[in-house]
Amino acid sequence: MARRSFGEKGFDVINIGLLGLVAILMVFPFLYIIALSFSDEKTIAEGGLILFPKGWSLEAYRYIFSTDTLVRSLYNSILITIGGTIVNLAMTSLMAYPLAKTHLLGRRGLLMLVIFTILFSGGLIPTFLVVKWTGLLDSLWSVIIPTSISAFYLIILKNFFQQIPEGLEESAKIDGANDMVILLRIVLPLSLPAMATFALFYAVNHWNMYFHAIMYINDNSKWPIQVLLRQIVILSQSAVGDSSSISDETVLPPQSIKMAVIVFATVPIMLVYPFLQKHFAKGVLLGSVKG
Amino acid sequence: MQHVSTLRRWQRQVRRDRWLYLMLLPGVIYFLIYKYLPMWGVVISFQNYSPGLGLFQSEWVGLKHFERLFSEPTFWMLFRNTILLSVYQLIFFFPIPIVLALMLNELTQQAFKRFVQTVIYIPHFVSWVVIAGISYLFLTPEGGFVNELLGLLGQDKVNFLMSTEWFRTLQVTQVIWKEAGWGTIIFLAALAGVDTQLYEAARIDGANRWRQLWHITLPALRSTIVILFILRMGDIMEQGVEHILLLLNAVNREVGEVFDTYVYTVGLLQGNFSYSAAVGLFKSLVGLILVVAANYLAKKSGEEGVF
């Protein structure tokens, strides 16, 4: 008996130790980058292992805010994230609500239409041509409109709406409210936690997006922060590089500036993370997309 | 009442639900334009599409682009690279969230458990660009953390970023770092559903922790594991362009180029719309077949399918 409890204690210690190590491995890269972004360029150039800011300096951040490019790309990212999320939520909830009504004629067909888009897509090139044809190229709308509804989130939200008791809506209907009023006044206020989750998921997607931007936006004054980050950290680093996508980059920015840009591209997510964390577990557990 | 025709009943229903249909309109238009129009747009892979002539005037060439694709050595390179990355992820990434969830489940201190969960979910919300950026700064031979560490240990520097041998390791490691923690959520949820009485009963019967794990915990995860495994099999052709594009360079292209990045490079950067659309269509079709087959297998094996 005593031996088993000794063994179990050993197991607990190892388990806690390993999980602690995993947690450290997950945050260490961030801490390292943040530390270096506050370090003085000379100390970084000297090399060696740095864990804490050495030769404390705000130079990198001062430089960033002195350049138009970075401030403008932050501004673009904020516009895309806020505008895009509003469009996402409006479009997704407007479509999810009718689809949650089991008596709706044609509902099954429409659900199949939606689910099929998860299984098959026309692909990158035809989608690009459609975005071009609808006149969105080189505008911020090009990264908002073509992704305005996620079929996955739509179906999860539809399932969520279906669980709201009918009674509330029925009584409003008797009072003469139409479905639009019911959605706005009754269903959405009851769904605030779900809407908050989707808002945050959509917002994270917009903030992190770079690929649509490099496909659809050539004008570099409209680049979001992630595209700028790719330009100055990744494309300038690979000297052999992907010559097709390097612009006229000639000066390599110093390490501390690269790190400061990484911090800027990450911090907004870290700021919303604590709020997000409460809700997201529910949002992930979609389980099935059955109609 | 029995004689009211179906048509009349439908008309009445549509009139009654007119607001609902109105609300559906923007969404339906969105799906038709941005999801279904591109599906129709795949016809360009049977044409020599030229932007000047458009969809209707471009010359029809039948299966020419597909014949070119299947006869080129590039095809086998893309196929091998895509499948290999998927298989490596299946082997090295797939089990990790399960193990992590089991380890978290064994923790008795709730505060520590919550702390670890909070921390390991973070990387999921970080963009691929930031992850690639961090990797570059860590791995660069010019003062990167890892190479400095190798230097301290008396090892030679390794140019991980410009290497064909390290590409797959790097790619899979990034996937593990980003998604391993997040992947635990679905398993932890399944574990939370296990009746604690089962464990008590097992303890009374003298079962130790390993036996409890083997006879209670793992069977509780079985259906989740099967479903996720089968879904991953269905996704075998999907190696995201967003991720891989950031790691590709002239040196590692032969091991790193996958279908999606090839479509982007050849189609958008070099302007071969029709040929790259054909490559994309081939990938989508194989993907569709795999997903449907995987779902069928899931149902066959007694699990609930996904659609």
Q: Are A229 and A262 in contact (CB under 8 A)?
A: yes
Both B56 and B81 in one domain: the answer is: no
Supply the pLDDT for residue A238.
Answer: 44
Q: Which of residues 1-60 of A touch B (CB under 8 A)?
A: 4, 8, 11-12, 15-16, 18-20, 22-23, 25-27, 29-30, 32-33, 36, 44-45, 47-49
Residue B305 lies in a domain: no
Q: How far is A285 from chain B (nearest CA, A)?
A: 6
User: Which strand (E) or helix (H) includes residue B59?
Assistant: strand B59-60
Q: Tell me chain A's radius of gyration from C-alpha atoms.
A: 24
Q: How far apart are CA A280 and CA A285, in angstroms?
A: 9
Both B205 and B158 in one domain: the answer is: yes
Residue range of the domain that includes B293: 75-300
Return the half-sphere exposure (C-beta side, CA atoms, 13 A cut-off) of residue A19. 29
Inter-chain touch B119–A26, beta carbons under 8 Å: yes
**DSSP per-residue letters across B101-115:** HHHHHH---HHHHHH
Inter-chain touch A288–B304, beta carbons under 8 Å: yes
Q: What is the pLDDT of residues B129-181, one digit of tens each?
A: 999 999 988 888 877 888 888 888 888 888 888 888 899 999 999 999 999 99
3-state DSSP assignment of residue B1: coil
Both B213 and B85 in one domain: the answer is: yes
Supply the pLDDT for residue A272.
Answer: 77
Residue B307 lies in a domain: no
Smallest CA-to-CA distance from A142 within A87, A84, A216 is with: A216
Neighbours of A272 (CB within 10 A): 15
Residue B192 lies in a domain: yes
Partnered with residue B60 across adjacent β-strands are: B47
Supply the pLDDT for residue A1.
Answer: 41
DSSP state at residue A221: G
Residue B33 lies in a domain: yes
Supply the pLDDT for residue B228.
Answer: 84
Supply the pLDDT for residue A243.
Answer: 39
Q: How far apart are CA B43 and CA B277, in angstroms?
A: 9
Helix, strand, coil % over all residues of chain B, rounded to 5: 75, 0, 25
Q: How far apart are CA A223 and CA A226, in angstroms?
A: 8
Q: How far is A119 from chain B (nearest CA, A)?
A: 6
Kindly report the backbone phi and psi dihedral angles of residue A223, in degrees, each rounded to the nearest multiple of 5, phi listed first: -65, 140
Q: What are the strands, taking DSSP E only, across chain B?
A: 47-48, 59-60
Helix and strand numbers, DSSP H then E, in chain A: 15, 0
Smallest CA-to-CA distance from B23 within A111, A107, A173, A94 is with: A94
A54-63, A271-280, B278-287, B288-297 — which is least confidently predicted? A271-280
Both B31 and B127 in one domain: the answer is: no
Supply the pLDDT for residue A4.
Answer: 55
Both B28 and B113 in one domain: the answer is: no
Supply the pLDDT for residue A59.
Answer: 80
Amino acid present at B208: N
Q: Are B171 and B82 in contact (CB under 8 A)?
A: no
Smallest CA-to-CA distance from A210 within B132, B271, B110, B203 is with: B132
Both B39 and B80 in one domain: the answer is: no
Angle between helices B218-234 and B167-192 (to 10 degrees): 140
Supply the pLDDT for residue A19.
Answer: 95
**CATH number of the domain enclosing B96:** 1.10.3720.10
Q: How far is B295 from chain A (nearest CA, A)?
A: 11
Q: How far apart are CA B150 and CA A67, in angstroms?
A: 36
Q: How far apart are CA B202 and CA A39, in angstroms?
A: 56
Does B122 reach chain A within 8 Å, measured CB to CB? yes
Inter-chain touch B242–A210, beta carbons under 8 Å: yes
3-state DSSP assignment of residue B47: strand
- Cβ-nearest to B288 among A30, A49, A120: A120
Supply the pLDDT for residue A51.
Answer: 66
B301 has a pLDDT exceeding 80: no
Supply the pLDDT for residue A291.
Answer: 35
Q: How far apart are CA A83 and CA A81, in angstroms?
A: 6
What is the band of B4 on the pLDDT scale with cuts at 50, 70, 90? Answer: low
Supply the pLDDT for residue A2.
Answer: 43
Both B86 and B179 in one domain: the answer is: yes
Helix, strand, coil % over all residues of chain A, rounded to 5: 75, 0, 25
**Residue at token pair 């602690």:** A20
Q: How far apart are CA A110 and CA B259, in angstroms?
A: 31
Q: How far apart are CA B131 and CA A266, in angstroms?
A: 10
Supply the pLDDT for residue A249.
Answer: 42
**DSSP per-residue letters across B124-161:** GGS-HHHHHHHHHHHH-TTT-HHHHHHHHTTPPP--GG
Supply the pLDDT for residue B40.
Answer: 93
Residue B80 lies in a domain: yes
Q: How far apart are CA A76 and CA B194, in angstroms?
A: 47
Inter-chain touch A211–B245, beta carbons under 8 Å: yes
Q: How far is A203 from chain B (nearest CA, A)?
A: 10
Number of domains composing chain B: 2
What is the band of B33 on the pLDDT scale with cuts at 50, 70, 90? Answer: very high
DSSP state at residue B89: I
Both B21 and B113 in one domain: the answer is: no
Please return the burial class of B159, using the count of CB atoms within 10 Å of its CB with bins 0-12, 13-18 and 19+. middle
Both B172 and B257 in one domain: the answer is: yes
Residue B106 lies in a domain: yes
Q: What is the pLDDT of residues B74-101, one digit of tens each?
A: 999 999 999 999 999 999 999 999 999 9
Both B275 and B136 in one domain: the answer is: yes
Q: Are A212 and A142 in contact (CB under 8 A)?
A: yes
Inter-chain touch B161–A238, beta carbons under 8 Å: yes
Is the C-alpha dihedral spanning B290, B294, B300, B306 positive or negative? Answer: negative
Both B86 and B214 in one domain: the answer is: yes
Smallest CA-to-CA distance from B174 within B220, B124, B210 is with: B124
Q: What is the mean pLDDT of chain B?
A: 88
Q: How far is CA B41 from the centre of its chain?
A: 24
Q: Are A111 and A291 in contact (CB under 8 A)?
A: yes
Both B42 and B187 in one domain: the answer is: no
Q: Are A52 and A35 in contact (CB under 8 A)?
A: yes
Confirm whether the ipTM is greater than 0.85. yes
Q: Which residues of chain A have pLDDT under 50?
A: 1-3, 238-251, 286-291
Supply the pLDDT for residue A250.
Answer: 40
